[in-house]
Amino acid sequence: MEKKKTINFGAGPAKLPPSVLLQAQKELLDYSGIGISVLEMSHRSADFTKIINTTENLLRELLNIPENYKVLFLQGGGTGQFSAVPLNLIGLKEDRCADYLVTGTWSAKAAKEAEKYGKVNVVHPKLDKYTSIPDGSSWSLNPSASYVYYCCNETVHGVEFNFIPDTKDVILVSDMSSNFLSRPVDVSKFGLIFAGAQKNIGSAGVTVVIVREDLLGKALKECPIILDYQVQAGNNSLYNTPPCFSIYIMKLVLEWIKDNGGTEAMEKLNQQKSSLIYDVINSSNGFYTCPVDVDCRSRMNIPFRVGGGDEALEKSFLDNASKFGMISLKGHRSVGGIRASLYNAVTLEEAQVLSTYMKEFLKDHQPKELEH
């Protein structure tokens, strides 16, 4: 019997393009004819210098990053940046305070961490549940804030910003971990962008930080040296040994994105994929429900319930999906239900398999009164 193809809808670490995996496999034992693996390579060698510089140049090209921004490759994940951002930036103004938009699990964690280093102002009324982005008219921005922080796409709850917040003249900081390079972005509108690689641009272990040069050198004295942006920028991300293999994998993924049309092509593809799933949800007469407001539903992470949150039905949905090779569809433990993550490497055909399965599952399990 032919082995069924596995389709990975995981929220991160997530699917990598097959061509990237094959290239990494091909070069694993002998990178570029030098006789050793990237895993064994000195981070100060000419070969690795070429890898990290090529990775940076690809990022600059794909995002049109202005020259007055530094690109850093750091460790500690997005969670490390929850600390690094305030440690580096909250002291930019003497009031030592920052504004935070809290629209989900990750921005909530970031705001809580920042409280260790200064005053945090959540700019909108506290949300009872993370299913919407508060209207801008309800925001209370502090002109004395050192920066305004938001998470562009909340992986757990499936809330995505489709606009760039207007912060007047205050520096804007964004966690783009789960929608980085899924669409074009005007980097010049931000003081800092960071993103863990393990969703759209590579494997776990490396975090990209794009930071405007004039924001360097303002770190609090208690900032650990490996989190100090000025130190890392001054050492080309080589102050200490970087996650070499993860940077190499990112290089391969960025080459794949470039070869497949760049961020504009990724945006079009991601819109098509997410529409396939949302269309099934919206036309299911309530059998499938997505709790997120329509205007901020994520293209990357689609959470939904089956049968109004019927846990037995949802277990059946997951069990049957796995028989068709679809894995990692279980919702985050804090939310429950189902979650389909449709990052760049997930193909339109794979999204179509899920869409077709959802329609068939609906047909087999819908209440009798919905059949007509």
User: Which runs of E-coded beta strand occur in 86-196?
Assistant: 97-100, 119-122, 148-151, 153-154, 159-160, 172-175, 192-196
Q: Around Cβ 13, how many Cβ atoms within 10 Å?
A: 16
Q: d(Cα 350, Cα 7) in Å, to the nearest integer? A: 7
Residue 279 catalytic?
A: no
3-class secondary structure, 99:
strand
Among 93, 99, 175, 330, the one annotated catalytic: 175
Per annotation, catalytic residue among 106, 228, 256, 273: 106
- Rounded to a whole number of angstroms, the distance between the first and last alpha carbons of the chain is 39
Q: If you count them, how many residues does the chain have?
A: 372
Angle between helices 105-114 and 77-89 (to 10 degrees): 40
Active site residue 175: yes
- Is 295 marked active-site? no
Asked if residues 251 and 55 have their Cβ atoms less than 8 Å apart, the reply is yes
According to DSSP, the residues that pair with 74 across neighbouring strands are 207
Q: From the candidates 70, 199, 273, 330, which is the catalytic residue? A: 199
DSSP 3-state assignment of 150? strand
Name the residues annotated as catalytic.
106, 175, 199
